[in-house]
Amino acid sequence: MKESEETITVIIFRGARANPWRLKIRKAFVKHGLIWGLALLLIQGGIVTHYVYQWNQLSEFEGIKKELNATRSKTSTFSTEVDGMKKRMLVLENLNRKLQTMFGLEPDEIHGLPSDLAGQGGEELPYDGLQDEADVQPLVSNDRGSSVGAADGSSAFLTTKRQIREIKVGLDWLNQETKFESQILDNLSSVARKKAVQWASTPSIWPVSGRITSRFGPRISPFTGKKRLHAGVDVGASTGTEVRAPASGKVVVAAYDSRMGKFIRIDHGFDIETTYGHLSKIHVKYGDRVHRSDLIGLVGNTGKFSTGPHLHYQVAVNDKVVDPLHYILD
């Protein structure tokens, strides 16, 4: 009886003919077996959980690595773009300096690239010395291959860090240069406008078509017989031939004078005035604004100092008469 209390009998039936097996197992053994089994199960469960956790960590890490690579790639692309902008800015600076020279202005100094780029020598680089895009690109874009090991991680990280710093310095430089070049462009634009006005206001065409009958300069006056300065040029043309303004300006005289007959004077600004004498007809009045090629009057033979139909055309700069031929380009 005592034995049966301490053991458990397990009977295994093996069919109708064979005798069943009887296994007697001590209760204590079963109890210990159960405890150990449970313990093993728990340990195994722990190991499995640990691996599952590690696996999750690993896939999270893979995700971060991919993101990091994508960021590096973007940083590299952006760095290349910033380098491209820097090149274009230098081209623009050069163009601005040429325009300044062409417009007779003292050209500003070209600032060159930012001087404190890490690991690039630090000196100002001339345009030809700029990095090619090929020099910049491979830093990160090639690291999709086998080289993305953990060992490369820190150097790639440093490269990215350096690129970010260069980008920042480059952007600061671009920001500053944009402001500076904008000012120069504003200045050039106002000078160009002034030049355009000056060009439009400078006499440059024949006011009438005809033949020169008397040039500018000293001559024996046909009226007094004395040596006098002929203050303009005489162009012989038949009465009624059109007289046109050789540049834009403002009519400051449209009147009759006993010697000049009907005459017009135009103030072109920039200290230049032109005068048209002996007209048969005046088509403008005091204060009118005229432009190059506008009809202002007709050739005639009015006034004492005229021996036949012609236009007396006179140009004065700073109140001093000059040879009008210097102001005719056509």
Of 185 and 212, the one with the shorter C-beta distance to Zn ion is 212
| CB of 31 or CB of 215, closer to Zn ion | 215
**Residue 100: CB minimum distance to Zn ion, A:** 43
Q: Bridge partners of 265?
A: 253, 275
Tell me how far CA of residue 157 lies from CA of 4, 71, 169, 203, 268, in angstroms: 74, 11, 18, 68, 68
| Of the residues 93, 181, 234, 273, which one makes contact with Zn ion according to CB under 5 A | 234
Main-chain phi, psi angles of 254, to 5 degrees:
-145, 90
Name residues whose C-beta falls within 8 Å of residue 164's C-beta, 6 or more positions apart in sequence: 75
- Residue that the structure tokens 């691996």 belong to: 51
SS3 for 42? helix
Binding residues with Zn ion: total (CB under 5 A)? 2
Chain residues 67-126 in contact with Zn ion, contact rule CB under 5 A: none
Q: How far is the CB of 221 from Zn ion (least distance, A)?
A: 10
In the complex with Zn ion, the residue whose CB is nearer, 125 or 233, is 233
Q: How many residues would you count in the chain? A: 330
| CB of 272 closer than 8 Å to CB of 317 | yes
Q: How far is CA 9 from each of CA 5, 24, 29, 66, 290, rounded to the nearest angstrom?
A: 10, 4, 13, 62, 132
What's the min distance (Å) between Cβ of 189 and Zn ion?
A: 42
Pick between residue 137 and residue 239 the one whose CB is nearest to Zn ion.
Answer: 239
Residue 77 vs 214, nearer CB to Zn ion: 214
Q: Which stretch binds Zn ion (CB under 5 A): 2-10, 81-89, 177-185, 229-237?
A: 229-237
Q: Which is nearer to Zn ion, 166 or 273 (CB)?
A: 273
User: What is the spatial distance between Cα 46 and Cα 25, in angstroms, rounded to a whole number?
Assistant: 30
Contacts of 288 (CB under 8 A, 6+ apart): 250, 251, 254
69-77, 230-238, 262-270, 317-325 -> range binding Zn ion (CB under 5 A): 230-238
Sketch the per residue contact string, 256 through 295, with Zn ion: x for CB under 5 A, - otherwise.
Answer: ----------------------------------------
> Between residues 86 and 278, which has the closer beta carbon with respect to Zn ion?
278
Minimum separation from the CB atom of position 206 to Zn ion (A): 15
Nearest approach in angstroms of CB 270 to Zn ion is: 24
User: Which of 68-76, 175-183, 227-235, 282-290 is the region at the interface with Zn ion (rule: CB under 5 A)?
Assistant: 227-235
DSSP-based three-state secondary structure for 65: helix
Which listed range, 48-56, 121-129, 160-168, 228-236, lies at the site for Zn ion (CB under 5 A)?
228-236
Q: How far apart are CA 155 and CA 143, in angstroms?
A: 12
From residue 139 to residue 178, what is the string marking binding to Zn ion with x (rule CB under 5 A)? ----------------------------------------
Which span sits near Zn ion by CB under 5 A: 57-65, 158-166, 294-302, 307-315? 307-315
Closest of 246, 262, 107 to residue 187, by C-alpha: 107
Q: Which of 72, 82, 312, 327 binds Zn ion (CB under 5 A)?
A: 312
Per residue, the 3-state secondary structure of 26-39, as one string, reads EHHHHHHHHHHHHH
Which of 243, 242, 215, 245 lies closest to 231, judged by CA? Answer: 215
Decide: 272 and 201 in contact? Cβ < 8 Å. yes
List interacting residues with Zn ion (CB under 5 A). 234, 312
